[in-house]
Amino acid sequence: MSIVYEIIKSWKHIEGNVNSMNDIMEWINIRNTKLKVKIEKVNFSYDGFWHYDTQKGYIKNSNNSFFQLAGYQEIEDDIIVEEQPIIIQDEIGYLGIICKMINGVLNFLMQAKIEPGNVNVIQLSPTIQATKSNFTKAHGGREPAYLSYFVNAKKYTVLVDQLQSEQASRFYKKRNRNIIILVEDEIEVLEDHMWMTLGQIKECMKQDNLVNMDTRTVLSCIPFRASELEEGELEKVEGLFKDKALFCSIFKDVDYQKIHKTFNIINDYKMYRREKSRLLPLKSLKNWSMTDKEIVCKKPYDFKIVYCHIEIEGREVKYWEQPLVEALGMAIVGVFTCVQDGIRKYLVKVKPEMGCFDTAELGPTIQLEPTNERNLLNPVEKLFLENLEHKKGIIKDIILSEEGGRFYHEQNRNLIIEIIPDEISELPEGFYWMDFATISNMIQFNNCINIQLRNLMALVDL
């Protein structure tokens, strides 16, 4: 059997063959009850382990590890059009999942992980989720579990290995290594890890804030190629799909003409954009105030910076302090989907963002921060909100957390809404209907599909 066929079978296998859904939920509930977590906002002195570096004007720690907070401005015609604090984290970390065939079914080794910024306690995370500072032990803690499998990935079958972007509205050119490896070894399963089928992970994604952002982005990178199926498997795979239009969308030929056209539009934007950007000291931000409690904008903005004391049992380091980005409201992230000629398609758009590694990527139909002005939305975005308000065509509507290691209680409303193609008479510039196969193909390139769109594609059901 081909690995593509085994992945689809695992996606269909919701009841599980190693652990049941009841086992998974009981395990999460026990760990939520058992683990001791204490996170509280505290005053920031700006001269402790985390301090304001007067030479660079950044907030960083004494080890020069993990991340720094800098000021960022976008300038057009010598006028500042946008400014904010931004996270600089040059390190590339591991977001890695181990999978294995167990009694004829592909299972994924998932972790019940606590992050300091989680709105709840436990969320399902990849097998390993570690910054370079973690796995080089810059913080003085112990080595992350299962690290050796990913450091020595060449010994195993690598299914995914991509550098993918993070939230470009918060991070400056941040990327992580999304990697999935298939192993045959006997693996010791630690108490905070559990085997699950892909279908069980997808089932957990139907619950608010249960599957973390890192799991979703890694799973979105799985390639599905009809060319890798063995003889007779394509018909068997089709039989596993309830949504036949999605089957055609995943296993049709990639629309390379659409890919070339999209790259042309994105590259035009990168070449001709007028805005310039710069990093600068935090104290140079004209509209932001640095107090002993927070770094906050003087006008309505999507986030502020807070400082927290954190105690988490079972982590590489049990207690520490750090800044976190606190969202001030909930963003709406969503895609329109439709069926054209029997093929399911998704409406995507070219999305520039200030911290984007290479200026712009493809994003979802709508990516609406709390303070974005509604009167500036284009007709497609307005239609999306109208359909949402009238509960029309909603396939997915789930509240999911963003990255809990840097963000405090940040949640987004993730939506997939189905429409008929005729509802949109003309697409605004930069919008395209794309099938799943084409989006998946573009995910195989670094820095082409943004994390919001990747996370939405991870929510798709058979």
State whether 318 and 338 are in the same domain: no
The two beta strands, 407-408 and 319-327, are parallel
Query: Any idea what DSSP says for residue 185?
Result: S
State whether 394 and 432 are in the same domain: yes
State whether 345 and 288 are in the same domain: no
State whether 207 and 260 are in the same domain: no
Q: Which residues of 413-431 are buried (b: 16+ CB within 10 A; e: fewer)?
A: bbbbbbbeeeebeeeeebb
CATH number of 400's domain: 3.90.79.40
State whether 53 and 104 are in the same domain: no
Confidence class of residue 145 from pLDDT cuts 50, 70 and 90? very high
pLDDT > 90: what percent of the chain? 77
Which of the residue ranges 8-22, 316-330, 414-428, 438-452 would you say has the lowest mean pLDDT?
316-330
C-alpha 280/C-alpha 293 separation (Å) is 22
State whether 207 and 117 are in the same domain: yes
State whether 389 and 416 are in the same domain: yes
Q: Residue 254: pLDDT above 90?
A: no
C-alpha 215/C-alpha 123 separation (Å) is 10
Tokens 């070219």 belong to residue: 350
C-alpha 419/C-alpha 426 separation (Å) is 14
- 3-class SS of residue 111: strand
Q: Name the β-bridge partners of 398.
A: 414
CA dihedral over 170, 176, 180, 184, signed as positive or negative: negative
Distances (CA, A) of 134 to 70, 130, 137, 317: 22, 6, 5, 9
Confidence class of residue 270 from pLDDT cuts 50, 70 and 90? confident
Q: Residue 140: pLDDT above 70?
A: no
Which of the residue ranges 35-39, 240-244, 417-421 would you say has the lowest mean pLDDT?
35-39
C-alpha 80/C-alpha 90 separation (Å) is 25
Residue 249 in any domain: the answer is no
Q: Residue 64: pLDDT above 90?
A: no
Query: pLDDT per residue over 101-118, tens digit each?
Result: 999 999 999 999 989 899
Highest mean pLDDT out of 36-40, 311-315, 352-356: 352-356
Q: What is the mean pLDDT of residues 22-44?
A: 92
Mean pLDDT in the chain? Answer: 93
Q: In angstroms, how far is the first alpha carbon of the chain from the final one?
A: 20
C-alpha 70/C-alpha 380 separation (Å) is 35
Based on the structure, what is the number of domains in the chain? 3
State whether 179 and 288 are in the same domain: no
Provide the residue count of the chain: 462
State whether 139 and 164 are in the same domain: yes
Q: Can you give the pLDDT at residue 402?
A: 93
Confidence class of residue 201 from pLDDT cuts 50, 70 and 90? very high
C-alpha 324/C-alpha 36 separation (Å) is 20
Q: Can you give the pLDDT at residue 425?
A: 87
State whether 291 and 392 are in the same domain: no
Query: Any idea what DSSP says for residue 35?
Result: S
Tokens 């049941």 belong to residue: 20
Query: pLDDT per residue over 292-347, tens digit each?
Result: 999 999 999 999 999 999 988 766 667 889 999 999 999 999 999 999 999 999 99
Tokens 């999911």 belong to residue: 400
State whether 226 and 177 are in the same domain: yes
State whether 435 and 337 are in the same domain: yes
Q: Residue 262: pLDDT above 90?
A: no
Q: Give the residue numbers spanning the domain of 164.
A: 3-37+90-242
Query: pLDDT per residue over 173-192, tens digit each?
Result: 999 999 999 999 999 999 99
Q: Can you give the pLDDT at residue 20?
A: 98
Confidence class of residue 139 from pLDDT cuts 50, 70 and 90? low
Q: Can you give the pLDDT at residue 130?
A: 87
Residue 203 in any domain: the answer is yes
